[in-house]
Structure 1
């Protein structure tokens, strides 16, 4: 069957699977799309074309997550073809990088006792991972013609002072209390948007930030520790938060 949320389709199938005295297990992976390289057409070999070299497959998304998708589909089909008890739920979901809307939508329709996620781990056992918070920080200036510095306030120039604070915070987090497995949390500026044209002062500049968090950091502490020094002026922002986890 398929379920849909926010315009992204999610594929779900289920069959009977032997699992002890019976029960339900999720086998899950994501099918997100990643942006291609801006010069992909000129690169050789082309990253969007898969190839097999020395028994290994290469190409955009081969490792994460086409290999995981293929693996769980083969595993589910093999299990379903044999005598079994219990249920297996095969879920291919979108939106893995941001709000996990695909997984949340699937869980509205199905439940399970356990789950296997085919995220590549280089065959290591994963017991913890970082959480994240995404912030949009908008620094506001005042639009004016480039010949009128007496009227204009350059939002992009002021954003530079904010980014310097982000760099200082990055160094501070690296020296903070570290998790035994995940080490330190971190923060980085992912994108920057601002201005309308070269001949005018930019009225605003928006900087999306990503803050990667470690277990035992509460949402309040994550927010408080993610505040670089602000430049003068008005600031607005929005955020999306997902907690880290630790398997004990």
Structure 2
């Protein structure tokens, strides 16, 4: 599909659904977190398999600084409600501070889990990232990219799925990030639906992938057992 044709299609869909895509601001944090707990964390294969538990550490410590970066967007309906989100961050290969923070993030996460006495098994996330070689910093160096958009979460309201809201979000945010100087997106796709949207938009490179059934621990148990209808997870990059 030609880009102009796609632009017109997306615009018509937004008008028909009464949607706007806007940057998520700090005053939207409570609504955002309620949305994620209702429509994402309990269904997404990694967080569901981790048994992610709601706590102040997630809602008040982990997410606010990330949202404050200003690189995350929501689809808002005519009633002012969030019906979809795409969360991510712009990354610059020369940003040494952010790279350092990513290195120690694993330790901060484990400590936060202990502090809140959560039963969440964060090691599953770290193991999966390692098995699929998920590393945006290494990716930028190997591909000689200066700036990319790391897309971390995309979710649509359960009652609104199948209407093309995910495609609207992915298209619009990609366009915004391209205008901001990002050369590509980088993401771990755990859902067959988001992967299909990505493939449909084009310019996709699959960097690594694995079947959920192949990801097992040393005892032969599935690392991510709660994958429902999804069969494959993959690290993908989309040229902007």
> Structure 1 length as normaliser, TM-score?
0.23
Report which of the two structures shows the higher radius of gyration computed on alpha carbons. 1
**Structure (1 or 2) with the greater strand fraction:** 1
**Structure (1 or 2) with the greater helix fraction:** 2
> Structure 2 length as normaliser, TM-score?
0.24
